[in-house]
Amino acid sequence: MKIHHLALKVHDLAKIENFYFEVLGLKIIQRHYDEFKQLRSVWMDLQGTILMLEQMSLPDSSANFLEKSIKSDNLEAGWYLLALEIAKSEREIWKTKLNQLGIQIIQESHYSLYFCDPEGNRLALSHYSDSI
């Protein structure tokens, strides 16, 4: 089997769509709207796997919900990391690009650069397969 799609619930769909499109260069496949013609989902291509960015409603009762929930060190069950493959030769290019865009690299290994999207979801750019 192979992965068909990944779905990520987000608080600010426009901001997250822009990040995955502008920063990571993912191609937009489709946009989906609700019955009120409000954007509810953006599907992006991960070379044959679909990344579904899904709009999430915020609970009205929690003014600080976003601030409390956006943490890359969250130990609860859920998406821990999405690692995207890059060529080893692209590592420094990506490192420079992320720095120029003000995106903090929170960790580095010999094979990967770790950072977060604007809502705190952990991402990595990895060239591990280059060394196998």
- Pick from 121, 129, 132: nearest CA to 6: 121
What pLDDT does residue 28 have? 98
How many residues does this entry show for the chain? Answer: 132
The residue-averaged pLDDT of 15-19 equals: 96
- Pick from 51, 50, 49, 40: nearest CA to 13: 40
Residue 37: CB partners within 8 Å, gap ≥ 6?
Answer: none
Q: In the chain, which residues fall in CATH 3.10.180.10?
A: 1-57, 79-132
Identify the residue whose tokens are 């990595």.
124
CATH superfamily of 79-132: 2,3-Dihydroxybiphenyl 1,2-Dioxygenase, domain 1 (3.10.180.10)
Query: pLDDT (tens digit, 9 = 90+) per residue, 83-99?
Result: 999 999 999 999 999 99
Fold (CATH) for 1-57: 2,3-Dihydroxybiphenyl 1,2-Dioxygenase; domain 1 (3.10.180)
Helix (H, G, I), strand (E, B) or coil at 18: helix
